[in-house]
Amino acid sequence: MRGTTERIIHAAETLAACFLAFVTALTFVAVVLRYVFSWTIPDSYDASRLLLGVMIFWGIAVTGYRGDHITVELLYNVVPRRGRHVLDVLATLFTLLCMAVFTWAMLGKVLDAYHSGETTFDLHVPLWPAFGLAWVGLFGGVLLLVVRLLRVIRRPASVAPFSASH
């Protein structure tokens, strides 16, 4: 299971890197065209912001699974090992619950965009597929946090704690 999960994580990171490269190139070309030739790429702003949203949500999934996000260690460093395990379980559970609520709310946004027919300004490209792709990242984050929670509960030594100093 760990090998499959790591391959999925690697694929998500690779896809996010490709999106980031595309957004960077699109922004650079759009700026050059705007200031040198007084011409704009239709919907370049919308494409950039939508892909950045997708990257952020997929990044949330990866950092939640790995525990790479910012932490506050007020109690973690002073409690004994058993207390750290309890804090890891509680932190993972809390993160999972927050992600589940966020995923549920984002699904509502995807459905609203689908039913309203919301589109980009210039080319009238529907927005719901980009929102849906972002939602897939959030849903993947929930699944990965469930996997992390099970690993933290079963084998705490095999999972890096949310604390970056350990």
Give pLDDT tens digits for 114-144.
Answer: 999 999 999 999 999 999 999 999 998 899 8
pLDDT of residue 159: 61
Give pLDDT tens digits for 98-110.
Answer: 999 999 999 999 9
3-state DSSP of the chain: CHHHHHHHHHHHHHHHHHHHHHHHHHHHHHHHHHHHHCCCCCCHHHHHHHHHHHHHHHHHHHHHHHCCCCCCCCCCCCCCHHHHHHHHHHHHHHHHHHHHHHHHHHHHHHHHHHHHCCECCCCCCECHHHHHHHHHHHHHHHHHHHHHHHHHHHCHHHCCCCCCCC
pLDDT of residue 166: 43
Give pLDDT tens digits for 2-55.
Answer: 678 788 888 888 888 888 899 999 999 999 999 999 999 999 999 999 999 998
pLDDT of residue 97: 96
Which comes out higher in pLDDT, residue 161 or 88? 88
161: pLDDT strictly greater than 60: no
Return mean pLDDT, the chain: 86
